[in-house]
Amino acid sequence: MLILGSGPAGLSAAIYGARAGMKPILVQGIQPGGQLMTTTDVENYPGFADVIQGPWLMEQMQKQAEHVGTTLIWDTIVDVDLTQRPFRMTGDGGDVYEGDVLVIATGAQAKWLGLDSEEAMKGKGVSACATCDGFFYRGKKVAVIGGGNTAVEEALYLTNHSDDVTLIHRRNELRAERILQERLFKSDKIKVLWNKQVERFVGGGNPEGLVALELKDTQTGDTSTLDVEGGFVAIGHHPATELFRGHLSLDDDGYIAVETGSTRTSVAGVFACGDVMDKTYRQAVTAAGTGCMAALDAERFLGEMEADIAEAAE
């Protein structure tokens, strides 16, 4: 079993795959450990009463995968051949990896504004996941940047923790679905700033944390300041699927399409799990769950294939 990606989805697939005797080879890719490697406090992963660190959690998952028999490879895959089995993946140094089944767990990356101040304040008040980090801003003043479904959903979610939520959008109308907009405008905890874009995330205090946003009016050019303690960038995600474009069916947003209720892709024997196929939940625990599903789907596929071979031989 080949696995591409080493976040919660890929490592969970490896753990289940190894225990099923599928001899998983996991190629870790460009960012071993996935997005949790850049997440400090994790408070919503089941099984831990105290706050844990994202990198520590991924280190433990990796050790568990190795302990049960996973082979971990440090390489970056540059080419895939899914036209025949065994499937083949080629690394940037020319090494070739083969497997009877392939599990894709390459994840997705949040889109950011690209500001220097944004990079400096990540984890200090700036986040790209309200569901992950909103709990830390209970009773505080927060802002969401964006105008699509993700931004509106994040703003609505944050009202569970804050009575002062501001949605900042660079245009004068939202791109979100109408039903989400109706819920947003009905909330007395959310106000919208139209035609504004963030120019700078301002830090301060001891220890340093986000204290304000510097805004620019997209029509007049006027500048203003909004005092906030939490800023959530919600302008979408990039699924890491470029390698599979033309090889697998993707949806309109570039995520790998899977059969409802499974991790099966458009190519028999290839499975997808985690954020590369999930644009709705995007949580470590759901990624791990679909990683388990992918391993079970792969085991079932190999079992059926062996049964067909045995029947043909008779």
Q: Is 292 a catalytic residue?
A: no
Q: How many residues does the chain have?
A: 314
Which is catalytic among the residues 92, 133, 164, 222?
A: 133
What CA–CA distance (Å, rounded) separates 189 from 108? 30
Q: Is 273 a catalytic residue?
A: no
Which is catalytic among the residues 50, 81, 100, 132?
A: 132
Which is catalytic among the residues 116, 129, 163, 253?
A: 129
CA atoms within 13 A on the CB side of 51: 8
Strand order in the sheet with 126-127: 126-127, 230-233, 142-145, 165-168, 190-193
Region class of 147: left (phi > 0), else alpha (psi between -120 and 50), else beta:
alpha
Q: 290 with 106: CB under 8 angstroms?
A: no
Provide the annotated active-site residues. 129, 132-133
